[in-house]
C-alpha cells in the first residue's frame, strides 16, 4: 500500500515539474547573448543611435489642425470627437473637407503633414498643418502588477519607464527574461530578451519601446511549479479519499 501511494505521488510531482505550456511564446527564437564585450558595446551604441518615427496605419485615429482654419480642423468638433480624432479607414484614407479624402497609410507624421499641406494648397494659401496620431500604445503582459495598454503620448518610452508605469514586476517575475516583440515589423516578428539582472543589460534595457510593441515579462520556474502543484491538489485529495477507508480497515485489523 505504501509503495502504491508513493508511486502515485512520484507520478503526480513529475507531471507538475514537466508542465511547460504555462510560458507564453515558449517557441519564440531569441538572439543569443554576446560573449564578446566589444561586440556588446557596439550593439548598445547601435540601439542608442536608432531613430524612430511612427508610420500611420489603417484604423489609427489622427488629430489634424489647420492653423487659422478651425472650421476644417478636427479641433472644431466637440470634446468627445476631438479626443477620438479622425479614423484612417481600412484602405488607408482619411476624409476631410475640401480635399475629400487623402491616402496617409505608411506615411510618417512629417510626411503626412507635407501631403496634407500640398493637397490643401489648392484651396488655401500657404496652409500650415499639424497632425498627431492619438492611439499610440504599447502592450505589457505577464508578471507585472498592472498589465495592459500603456499610452505613448511622446511616441516612445524606455523599457524601464514602461515597467514603472505598470507598477513594477511581481515577485514571480523572471527578471532574466523580459521578452520584447517588435510591433512595427509587420509580418516579420523580431524579438529580443533583456536580462535586468545583468549590469550590461541595463544599458540595453533603455532601448525605446515603440507603438504596438509587446513587452512580455516571463514567470520564473517556481511559479510554474506552484501552479502545477495547485492543479494536482484535487487529484491528491481524490486519492486520499479513496484510500482512507482501506487504511482504516488495515489499522483496525492490526
Q: d(Cα 97, Cα 82) in Å, to the nearest integer?
A: 16
Indicate the pairing of strand 61-66 with strand 191-194: unpaired
Q: d(Cα 179, Cα 146) in Å, to the nearest integer?
A: 17
Q: Which of 240, 241, 222 is CA-nearest to residue 16?
A: 222
Q: Domain extents for the chain?
A: 34-53+136-222, 61-133
| Record: fold of 34-53+136-222 | Outer membrane lipoprotein wza fold like (3.10.560)
Residues contacting 164, CB < 8 A, separation 6+: none
Contact at 8 Å (CB) between 90 and 58? yes
Same fold, 34-53+136-222 and 61-133: no
Backbone angles phi, psi at 142, to 5 degrees: 100, -145
Coil, helix or strand at residue 151: strand
| The three three-digit cell numbers of residue 134, written as one number | 492619438
Q: d(Cα 66, Cα 131) in Å, to the nearest integer?
A: 9
pLDDT tens per residue across all 254 residues of the chain = 554 554 555 555 554 544 444 444 444 444 544 444 554 555 445 444 556 788 999 999 999 999 988 888 886 554 444 457 899 999 999 999 889 899 999 999 999 999 999 999 999 999 999 999 998 999 999 999 999 999 998 888 888 899 999 998 988 888 888 999 888 766 667 888 888 887 776 666 667 899 999 999 988 875 555 555 555 566 656 666 666 665 556 555 65
CATH 3.30.1950.10 assigned to 61-133:
yes
Amino acid at each position: 500500500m505504501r509503495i502504491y501511494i508513493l508511486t502515485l505521488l512520484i507520478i503526480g510531482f513529475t507531471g507538475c515539474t514537466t508542465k511547460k505550456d504555462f510560458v507564453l511564446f515558449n517557441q519564440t527564437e531569441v538572439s543569443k547573448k554576446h560573449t564578446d564585450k566589444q561586440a556588446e558595446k557596439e550593439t548598445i551604441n547601435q540601439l542608442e543611435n536608432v531613430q524612430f518615427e511612427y508610420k500611420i496605419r489603417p484604423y489609427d485615429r489622427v488629430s489634424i489642425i489647420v492653423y487659422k482654419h478651425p472650421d476644417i480642423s478636427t479641433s472644431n468638433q466637440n470634446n468627445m470627437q476631438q479626443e477620438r480624432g479622425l479614423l484612417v479607414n481600412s484602405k488607408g484614407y482619411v476624409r476631410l473637407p475640401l480635399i475629400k479624402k487623402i491616402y496617409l497609410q505608411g506615411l510618417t507624421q512629417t510626411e503626412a503633414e507635407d501631403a496634407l499641406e500640398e493637397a490643401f494648397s489648392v484651396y488655401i494659401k500657404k496652409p500650415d498643418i499639424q497632425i498627431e496620431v492619438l492611439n499610440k500604445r504599447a502592450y505589457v503582459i505577464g508578471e507585472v502588477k498592472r498589465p495592459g495598454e500603456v499610452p505613448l503620448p511622446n511616441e516612445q518610452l524606455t523599457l524601464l519607464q514602461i515597467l514603472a508605469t505598470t507598477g513594477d514586476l511581481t515577485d514571480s517575475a523572471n527578471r532574466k527574461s523580459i521578452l520584447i516583440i517588435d510591433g512595427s515589423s509587420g509580418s516579420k516578428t523580431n524579438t529580443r530578451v533583456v536580462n535586468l539582472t545583468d549590469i550590461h543589460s541595463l544599458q540595453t534595457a533603455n532601448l525605446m519601446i515603440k507603438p504596438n510593441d509587446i513587452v512580455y515579462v516571463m514567470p520564473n520556474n517556481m511559479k510554474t511549479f506552484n501552479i502545477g502543484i495547485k492543479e494536482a491538489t484535487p487529484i491528491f485529495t481524490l486519492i486520499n479519499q479513496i484510500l482512507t477507508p482501506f487504511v482504516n480497515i488495515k489499522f483496525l485489523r492490526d
